[in-house]
Amino acid sequence: MRFFVILIAVCMLTGCWDRKELEQMSYATAIGLDIPEGVDLKEKQAIDVTFQFSNPKLNIKGATGQGEKGEKSIITLTAPDFITAKNMANSFVTRQISFSHAKTIVVSEELAKSDMFFRFIGSALKEREVRRETSIIVSEGKASEFIRKNKPEMMIRPHKYYQFIIDRSIETGLVPEATINRLFAVTDGDADLFLAISGSVSEKKEGSSFKEEDQYIAGSVPKEGGNPVQLIGSAVFKEGKMIGKLTGEETRVSLLLDNTSRIEDMFVSFTDPVEKNYKIAIRVKKKTATDINVKLRKGPPKINVKVPLEIELLSVPSMVDYGGDMKKQMILKKWIAKEIEKNMIALVEKTQKVFKSEPFYWSLAVRPLFSTTKEYEEWDWTNKNYPYADINIDVQVDIIGFGKQLKESEMEKVKD
């Protein structure tokens, strides 16, 4: 009996037979997907796959991770799909390629708008190394160009760059949380829109006009120097196919209306309601979850949405003393609530008229109203009801701080 116990213990402890040393592996940190030049995907299954590898030996102080060594860590090849491309690449990449550290999949708009996109990305489910939390970026141009021209100045490791910039952009609400897991959850649910991160490689464009800080799409932000890659706004997918775009402002609004999203620091500027030649800067936070009440009736449903927000005043260049004047505080609260409501109503109308569906995951509030899945599917939230629904939005604003206020004598000096 003791012999069998020892034998079983030995078998259980021999679990490192397939262990690979770090020196034997090439870790892909980013994967790019493009349609090959001159290929019709309806006639031939082919895709250009770009791999960006992390170099474990690159640990030089002050290095940028680019240049000759950076270029050697990026390869592009044509294959039937990006899983097959991994084995094809090992015909000239000496180490075994792994997807276990891949932080993002970059897809060109051309591929995202094709019927084949969801089929190609679906192969990610078959590969156990591809993580469900991998983010999806839709590039305005070629995905290979996006990866090759991405030159982070403060990051040696490319996987750290993708992790940090995506996490921070999601926290500020300028881009959505766009993971493979969410893509499949939304698409399989067949009721809502999926928002992917919108990206572009762009230097400063001639004639670029100044707008509010969140009213840009990727590639239109007026900037000089630094990394040419921009991430702002979102690409809209319906049933696994890209059908449009949202600006940074529209993306933020959609996330405020979505209880499954996370926003931490949303800094927004509004016209000063008292001195309209100036702008005020505020921090916006969701106080509690957005309340979505759906009432079924004969014909399209009625939807009442309450959005509780907390705001903190950060900058008042007009020098209006909102902190010491209750009447002006009420004017400020009503003004901000009205402006946010206006933006929300405009986005909702756009989703009803243009996209014929919503990216707010409101179907989660609708499903419990039906006894069976079949009954819900026959009612048809997306095509028959949401585009014609009567939607009322109520934004409730609480001011929780006014920042540092100048004394009356200091304000007079500044005005003089």
Nearest-10 crossing angle of helices 248-256, 326-350: 100
Three-state DSSP at 20 gives coil
What pLDDT shows up at residue 68? 42
Residue 13 domain-assigned (yes or no)? no
In angstroms, the CA 329 to CA 332 distance is: 5
The reply to whether 297 and 329 lie within a common domain is yes
Q: How far apart are CA 349 and CA 388, in angstroms?
A: 10
> Are residues 147 and 174 both part of a single domain?
yes
Residue 326 sits in a domain whose CATH number is: 3.30.300.210
Domain boundary residue, one of 248, 268, 292:
248
Asked if 32 and 50 touch (Cβ cutoff 8 Å), the reply is yes
124 lies in some domain: yes
pLDDT digits (tens, 9 = 90+) for 375-395: 998 898 988 899 999 999 999
- Residue 411 maps to a domain: yes
Give the three-state DSSP class for 19. coil
- Neighbour tally for 40: CB within 10 Å: 8
Q: Are 147 and 30 in contact (CB under 8 A)?
A: yes
Q: Do 315 and 261 fall within a single domain? A: yes
On whether residue 17 sits in a domain, the answer given is no
- The answer to whether residue 8 sits within a structural domain is no
pLDDT band at 217 (very low <50, low <70, confident <90, very high): low
Asked if 116 contacts 176 with a C-beta cutoff of 8 angstroms, the reply is no
Both 234 and 270 in one domain: the answer is no
Long-range contacts of 264-268 (CB under 8 A, 24+ apart): 264/171, 264/172, 265/171, 265/172, 266/172, 266/173, 267/172, 267/213, 267/314, 268/213, 268/214
Same structural domain, 197 and 331: no
Confidence class for position 245, pLDDT limits 50, 70, 90? very high
Q: Considering the domain boundaries, does residue 9 fall inside one?
A: no
User: Does residue 169 lie in a domain region?
Assistant: yes
* Mean per-residue pLDDT of the chain: 81
> Per residue in 227-244, pLDDT tens?
677 888 899 999 999 999
282 and 244 assigned to the same domain: no
Same domain, 111 and 183: yes
Of 223, 248, 273, at which residue does a domain stop? 248
Same domain, 66 and 201: yes
Q: Of the candidates 208, 227, 248, which is a domain's last residue? A: 248
∠ CA 189-194-198, nearest 5°, is: 165
Total domain count for the chain?
A: 2
Domain of residue 337, residue span: 257-416
CB neighbour list of residue 318: distance below 8 Å, 6 or more residues apart: 272, 274, 275, 277, 278, 280
Q: Are residues 284 and 229 in the same domain?
A: no
pLDDT in tens, 285-322: 888 889 999 999 888 899 999 999 999 988 888 888 88
- Inter-CA distances, 252 with 196, 223, 233, 260, 273, Å: 13, 21, 8, 13, 22
Main-chain dihedrals φ then ψ at residue 152, nearest 5 degrees = -65, 130
In this predicted model, what pLDDT tens digit does every residue of 13-41 receive, in sequence order? 655 655 566 566 778 888 999 999 888 88
pLDDT > 90 fraction of the chain, expressed in percent and rounded: 32
Together in a domain, 187 and 324 = no
The encoded tokens of residue 272 equal: 């000063």
Least confident of 173-182, 238-247, 258-267: 258-267
Same structural domain, 217 and 286: no
- Quick check: is 15 in a domain? no
**pLDDT surpasses 70 at 223:** no
Whether residue 102 sits in one domain with residue 240: yes
